[in-house]
Chains A and B, each alone.
Chain A
Amino acid sequence: MNGLTFDIAHLLAGSLVLISFMMLYQDRLFALINVFALHAVVLALSVAWQAYIQDAHHLYITAGIALVFKAIVIPVGLHRIIQRLGIHRDIETAVGIGPTMLAGIGLVTLSMVLMLRVTPEADPLAREDLAFALSIILLGLLVMVTRRNAVSQVVGFMSLENGLVLAATGAKGMPLVVEISVAFSILIAFIVIGVFLFRIRERFDSVDVGALDDYRGERR
């Protein structure tokens, strides 16, 4: 493999991990969404680069979806939802930023150690992509568990999904990548644009999932 192409792919995947870290310490919803939009742009670049070096033209579709849908449509939609709901104040984080960052570092170490150890024979690019992807997935999970707000949980889920797309495009010649990214976009569109946030706002006047916890099922 040509050194430069490898380095660029590496740089883009590494930036995604870095941006995932940036999400961990955002304490404003708008800022979080802006960081997510950046995440999606870098993902689109990374996927497009993969499409170029693997000469796999269908991956440009996935890159396009990431750019148009995740970097533009969803963030704009979320901005409007937040404005309409009037919740652009601080995010209630369930865990402090310090411990969250430490946990994030731990998770990235874990995924590097795990993935690099089990894939000694794989193509070095795919191998490092996979390690980065797992880091992004785990950091996305971390965002989801450390936030109590429904919007930021959705953002966490979307960043997790970006990690999956990175892994899928890194696996050379994997079929169904486009289909899977479309399926995921539909999933996200379902949540974001419609059903849940709408109904949650309608019923609770709040998108704080903590408000939902009033009901515990067994204490009626």
Chain B
Amino acid sequence: MTGFSFDAVAAILFIPAGAAAILAVLPNYRMTAVVNVIASLLTLLAALSLFVTDRPAPGQYLLVDDLNIVFIVLNTFVGFTTSVFSASYIAHELETGRLTAPNLRFYHAMYQIMMFGMNLAFVSNNIGLMWVAVELATLTTVLMVGIYRTHEALEAAWKYFILGSVGIALALFGTILVYMAAQPVVGEGTNAMVWSVLIEKAAHFDPALLSVAFIFLLLGYGTKVGLAPLHAWLPDAHAEGPTPISAVLSGLLLNVALYAVLRFKLLLAASPQAIGPGPLMATMGLTSLIFAAFMLYRRRDIKRLFAYSSIEHMGIIVFAFGMGGPLANFAGLLHMVMHSLTKSAIFFAVGHIAQVKGTQKISEIRGLTESHPGLGWALVIGVVAIAGLPPLGIFMSEFLVVSSTFARYPWLAIPLVFGLLIAFGALLLRLTGLAFGEPRGGMAPVEASYVPMYSHLALVFAAGIYLPAPLVAWFQHVAGILG
């Protein structure tokens, strides 16, 4: 860094935005796939540099603090590995003619705009800007879900669009109410939307107005998290879009909405007279968990199966954050990271599996470990991890959630453990059919990119065995911030 100061925040915003502009005009699809990977890698490096460079002071629009760094690094990391997976996945789609070259140009440009939107949502210090960024990320994924232009893809995109827009409209109303609550205390103008200002003065806000605002925000952003009564878009969007998009939806976009909920939860927690956000979140989380666990049994489509599993895990995470306290927050944070890594790895495997088998129907896929050992075992490890078996990372985070629940509200642990066991049974039941037995379906060898999925799984495995002390300290610190 000689001569000029390196601005990491600007880099994680401008690299995706610039890349999107370039990708929109590049004609050659091989080149666009490579540019997509490079841009994602650069964004990841810029995000990692946030650890070493000085953090900018919170401005009116942008903010970097200990909380959002976790999200940014996770987001850019999974964004990078998904772009690597996407390159090999998309090459196959082009060969089979499901996508055309102009589609791809559009796809890659949208991918980078989506990364831009998500990164912007994380670094924004302004609740209005955050709302715009979440809307942008949603809109791009809607377009990508509909990219195959089949009946199913269009219905999925339409449903996603309608439910997503209603969610986002409710979130905007909540945002306006927060402004109304802040305005008498902070004064008119931009300052009354700046999160770091709001959090300092939240204790003086009108508690009733703030409570109503939070309910709108929880419903609005909760739609995007995929919480139970509002989840209807999620399985369709996962099943019908391109698989890299399923991976980023589950692994990243749900986290963006969750992050927004967490920011507002902090705001509410700072106002003693307002309703407690915890019980609301815990109830919604628990409902999602149990509902999704039962829904897992009736799935016949492999991508839908894992979409419901995402609802289940978001339920666990929201429940953990709803419980609050250092231990539960730590568990929720760890679970979120583990879930993102595992679920995107599973979708990487599922994407290749669906391509070689030519179908997404669970009943037509059998004996993967024999026909395609590389993919089959990745799926086995992934599902074992997501079901919460030791020694993988999710076991540890789920164990922490359960034990902290037992310690504080033992009667809540009963439905929690019940839901976990139901989901566990469903996943293992489906896994035995998919992975073992007589191979069925397409047997063609596969040119898969194993690196992204196995690197994710290795990280999850390593986290299950041993968490480095600095990481634990860091997460504990963040859990402390979350209150």
Q: State which of A10-18, A66-74, A102-110, A209-217 sits at the interface with chain B.
A: A209-217
26 contacts between A and B (CB under 8 A): A119-B208, A122-B206, A130-B177, A137-B173, A144-B162, A160-B169, A164-B169, A164-B176, A168-B172, A171-B179, A174-B183, A180-B172, A190-B139, A191-B161, A196-B154, A196-B161, A199-B149, A203-B151, A203-B154, A209-B158, A215-B152, A217-B236, A217-B239, A217-B304, A218-B301, A220-B301
Residues of chain B within 8 A of A172, CB atoms compared: 183, 188
The smallest beta-carbon distance between A13 and chain B, in angstroms, is 15
Considering the chains assembled together, what is the distance between the CA atoms of A62 and B139 in angstroms?
A: 22
| B contact residues vs A (CB 8 Å cutoff) | 126, 128-129, 131-132, 135-136, 139, 143, 146, 149-152, 154-155, 157-158, 161-162, 165-166, 169-170, 172-173, 176-177, 179-180, 183-184, 188-190, 192-193, 206, 208-209, 211-212, 235-236, 239, 298-301, 304, 361
A91-116 residues with Cβ-Cβ distance < 8 A to B are: 114-115
The smallest beta-carbon distance between A6 and chain B, in angstroms, is 18
From B155, B170, B208, give the contact of A215 (CB < 8 A): B155
Interface of chain B: mostly helix, strand, loop or mixed: helix
Q: Is A176 an interface residue (CB 8 A)?
A: yes
Considering the chains assembled together, what is the distance between the CA atoms of A133 and B162 in angstroms?
A: 20
Residues of chain A within 8 A of B304, CB atoms compared: 217-218
Residues of chain B within 8 A of A144, CB atoms compared: 162, 166
Q: Are A134 and B155 in contact (CB under 8 A)?
A: no
Q: Are B235 and A212 in contact (CB under 8 A)?
A: no
A144-B162, A174-B183, A179-B132 known; 4 other A-B pairs, CB under 8 Å? A137-B173, A171-B183, A175-B189, A195-B143
| A contact residues vs B (CB 8 Å cutoff) | 114-115, 117-119, 121-122, 126, 130, 133-134, 137, 141, 144, 150, 153, 157, 160-161, 164, 167-168, 171-176, 179-180, 183, 187, 190-191, 195-196, 199-200, 203-204, 209, 212-215, 217-218, 220
The smallest beta-carbon distance between B459 and chain A, in angstroms, is 32
Considering the chains assembled together, what is the distance between the CA atoms of A190 and B110 in angstroms?
A: 14
Residues of chain A within 8 A of B162, CB atoms compared: 144, 153, 157
Residues of chain B within 8 A of A150, CB atoms compared: 158
Q: Are A179 and B128 in contact (CB under 8 A)?
A: yes
Residues of chain A within 8 A of B169, CB atoms compared: 137, 157, 160-161, 164
Q: Are A218 and B190 in contact (CB under 8 A)?
A: no
Q: Are A212 and B158 in contact (CB under 8 A)?
A: yes
Q: Are A204 and B151 in contact (CB under 8 A)?
A: yes
Q: Are A130 and B180 in contact (CB under 8 A)?
A: yes
Q: Are A157 and B165 in contact (CB under 8 A)?
A: yes
Interface of chain A: mostly helix, strand, loop or mixed: helix
For A187, give the chain B residue with the smallest CB separation: B139
Considering the chains assembled together, what is the distance between the CA atoms of A160 and B184 in angstroms?
A: 27
Q: Are B184 and A121 in contact (CB under 8 A)?
A: yes
Q: Are B212 and A118 in contact (CB under 8 A)?
A: yes
Asked, given contacts A187-B165, A199-B149, whether A212 binds B155 with beta carbons under 8 Å apart, the answer is yes
For A194, give the chain B residue with the smallest CB separation: B143
Q: Are A119 and B149 in contact (CB under 8 A)?
A: no
The smallest beta-carbon distance between A155 and chain B, in angstroms, is 13
Q: 9 closest Cβ contacts across the A-B interface?
A: A173-B188, A176-B128, A118-B208, A212-B155, A175-B190, A167-B176, A118-B212, A118-B209, A183-B132
Interface centre among B136, B190, B193, B209 (most CB of A within 10 A): B209
Q: Are A141 and B239 in contact (CB under 8 A)?
A: no
Considering the chains assembled together, what is the distance between the CA atoms of A115 and B173 in angstroms?
A: 12
Residues of chain A within 8 A of B146, CB atoms compared: 195-196, 199
The smallest beta-carbon distance between A16 and chain B, in angstroms, is 15
Considering the chains assembled together, what is the distance between the CA atoms of A61 and B135 in angstroms?
A: 21
Considering the chains assembled together, what is the distance between the CA atoms of A195 and B170 in angstroms?
A: 24
From A118, A134, A175, give the contact of B173 (CB < 8 A): A134
Interface centre among A122, A150, A175 (most CB of B within 10 A): A175
From A114, A160, A196, give the contact of B212 (CB < 8 A): A114
For A164, give the chain B residue with the smallest CB separation: B172
Q: Are B179 and A119 in contact (CB under 8 A)?
A: no
Q: Are B300 and A220 in contact (CB under 8 A)?
A: yes
The smallest beta-carbon distance between B305 and chain A, in angstroms, is 11
Interface centre among B143, B177, B189, B301 (most CB of A within 10 A): B177
For B208, give the chain A residue with the smallest CB separation: A118
Considering the chains assembled together, what is the distance between the CA atoms of A220 and B189 in angstroms?
A: 54
For B300, give the chain A residue with the smallest CB separation: A218
Residues of chain A within 8 A of B139, CB atoms compared: 187, 190
For A118, give the chain B residue with the smallest CB separation: B208
Q: Are A212 and B128 in contact (CB under 8 A)?
A: no
For B207, give the chain A residue with the smallest CB separation: A118
For B162, give the chain A residue with the smallest CB separation: A153
Residues of chain A within 8 A of B299, CB atoms compared: 218
Considering the chains assembled together, what is the distance between the CA atoms of A130 and B174 in angstroms?
A: 11
Q: Are A199 and B206 in contact (CB under 8 A)?
A: no
Considering the chains assembled together, what is the distance between the CA atoms of A176 and B176 in angstroms?
A: 11
Q: Are A176 and B129 in contact (CB under 8 A)?
A: yes
Residues of chain B within 8 A of A218, CB atoms compared: 298-301, 304
Residues of chain B within 8 A of A168, CB atoms compared: 172, 176
Residues of chain A within 8 A of B236, CB atoms compared: 217
Residues of chain A within 8 A of B152, CB atoms compared: 215, 217
Asked, given contacts A164-B172, A173-B188, whether A180 binds B132 with beta carbons under 8 Å apart, the answer is yes
Residues of chain B within 8 A of A174, CB atoms compared: 176, 179, 183, 188, 192-193
Q: Are B361 and A212 in contact (CB under 8 A)?
A: no
Interface centre among B139, B143, B158 (most CB of A within 10 A): B158
Considering the chains assembled together, what is the distance between the CA atoms of A119 and B143 in angstroms?
A: 39
Q: Are A126 and B193 in contact (CB under 8 A)?
A: no
Residues of chain B within 8 A of A160, CB atoms compared: 166, 169
Considering the chains assembled together, what is the distance between the CA atoms of A51 and B304 in angstroms?
A: 49
Residues of chain A within 8 A of B170, CB atoms compared: 137
Residues of chain B within 8 A of A220, CB atoms compared: 300-301, 361
Residues of chain B within 8 A of A179, CB atoms compared: 128, 132
Residues of chain A within 8 A of B235, CB atoms compared: 217
Q: Are B208 and A117 in contact (CB under 8 A)?
A: yes
Residues of chain A within 8 A of B161, CB atoms compared: 191, 196
From B126, B135, B158, B190, give the contact of A196 (CB < 8 A): B158
The smallest beta-carbon distance between B130 and chain A, in angstroms, is 11
For B172, give the chain A residue with the smallest CB separation: A164
The smallest beta-carbon distance between B23 and chain A, in angstroms, is 19
Residues of chain B within 8 A of A212, CB atoms compared: 151, 154-155, 158
Q: Are B180 and A126 in contact (CB under 8 A)?
A: yes
